[in-house]
Amino acid sequence: MQQFRASDGTAIAYEDVGEGRPLVLLHGLMAHSGFFARQRELASEFRLVNVDLRGHGASSIDRKAATIADLARDIDDIAAALDLHGAIGIGWSLGASVLWELLGGPAADRFAGAVIVDMTPRVLNEDGWELGLSQDACDARTQAIRSDFTAFAQNAGQAIFAQPVRPELRQLAEWAGAEFARNDPAAIDSIWSSLVEADYRPALPSIHQPTLIVRGAQSQLYGPGTAEHLATALPNARCVRFDHSGHAPQLEQPDLFNRTIRNFAAGLPQIREQQATAF
């Protein structure tokens, strides 16, 4: 992988392959760029910019408590350094929050479209909002991260798949749990805390990029009401359901996921190909 040095010195690992419209791949909490391995075939048609978010994978652990804004700033800087234009941001779970943060700032002009994969704009439920997780559920996750991170991470890796895990996906689910458990607990704790605090509901009406909302019909995190809310709150959005997926359609139904990305991209205005800027 290539390496980008953030303004505070943190090393951010990323892969930049293929040519054409950029696809910026943003993974979920405790994951890394390898969770988009089956999307690498899209490099025959697109320019894939696949990033290990700060504190994940081959990227450095932050010297301070990292926030979603920090992660988004890294992607903003990478997009500027690579001179990306007309990009499609593909945000899965945490990556969707990072993408919403980007689309609410100056980096929005670099993106022509967005794909949101099984995420809510507000993780913590409150009065009048029940499309996230309860306070008890959030507190339990926080406690698990701090008290027995390995067990929490391994279980979470299994839980991103539709249950019971199909036989052909069991090895992949075990791999996901093991990869989750490789993270630094303190880094995940700080990012999780930022995620629980974040609220992107007010920002949604101002995001005018065409948005595809991908929902795993068997997700254990978010139900159909979450996707329906996003489709209503965003000015230009539509939903697609993956019947045999849980929280990770790109892993569980990769061929359908890749076709869905191709079809979504085909409906966007054409752009001129951009030249990558070398570091």
C-alpha 146: how far from its chain's center? 23
Provide the token pair at 182. Answer: 């490789």
Residue-wise pLDDT tens digits, 137-169: 999 999 999 999 999 999 999 999 999 999 999
272 falls within a domain: no
Residue-wise pLDDT tens digits, 12-43: 999 999 999 999 999 999 999 999 999 999 99
Instruction: Say if residues 40 and 18 touch (Cβ distance below 8 Å).
Output: no
| pLDDT score at 63 | 60
What CATH number does residue 96 fall under? 3.40.50.1820
Residue 135's closest CA among 143, 125, 127? Answer: 125
Q: How many CA atoms lie within 13 A of 185 on its CB side?
A: 14
| pLDDT score at 72 | 96
Task: Quote the domain boundaries for residue 248.
Answer: 2-266
Q: How many domains does the chain have?
A: 1
199 falls within a domain: yes
278 falls within a domain: no
81 falls within a domain: yes
Provide the token pair at 160. Answer: 């991103």
276 falls within a domain: no
| pLDDT score at 270 | 82
End-to-end CA distance of the chain: 13
28 falls within a domain: yes
C-alpha to C-alpha distance for 61 and 38, rounded to whole angstroms:
26
